[in-house]
Amino acid sequence: MKENISLKSTPPVNKMQFVFKDDSWWDNACDCCEATLMECYNYVGNDFVQNGSAHSYLNICEQILDHLDIPYGDDDAEEICDRIGVEIVIEY
């Protein structure tokens, strides 16, 4: 796990855009339960090697920070992405 990084020490940079395709689906509900949304987001492009499909917006942020080699803590990946100028676009 990467060490925490202070949000105040992270300088803002120009916007970086990452586009993901929403490949989410609903699983098959049975007689005893409701269908569940299975979130699945895949990067569009070939300049970022994704470590498996992301399963949430937070996981998208974590994968981007891993790609950029920027350390993050358990709860601040989204904040760091905002601070460094990451723009996440989700195509449906």
pLDDT score of 58? 95
Please check whether residue 50 lies inside any domain of the structure: yes
Task: Decide if 55 is inside a domain.
Answer: yes
Domain assignment present for 1 = no
User: Taking residues 40-45, what's their average pLDDT?
Assistant: 94
pTM of the model: 0.78
- Residue 86, domain member (yes or no): yes
Which range of residues forms the domain containing residue 81? Answer: 7-14+23-28+36-91
Number of helices (H), then strands (E), belonging to the chain: the values are 2, 5
Q: What is the mean pLDDT of residues 42-67?
A: 92
CA nearest neighbour of 73 among 58, 87, 84, 54: 58
Buried b (16+ CB within 10 A) or exposed e, 14-46: eeeebebeeeeeeeeeeeeeeeeeebbbebeee
In a domain, 58, yes or no: yes
Q: How many domains, the chain?
A: 1
User: Using 50, 70 and 90 to split pLDDT, how confident is the model at 91?
Assistant: very high
Quote the CA–CA distance of 31 and 16 in Å, as a whole number.
45
Per-residue pLDDT reduced to its tens digit, 9-39: 555 556 899 999 999 999 887 888 888 999 9
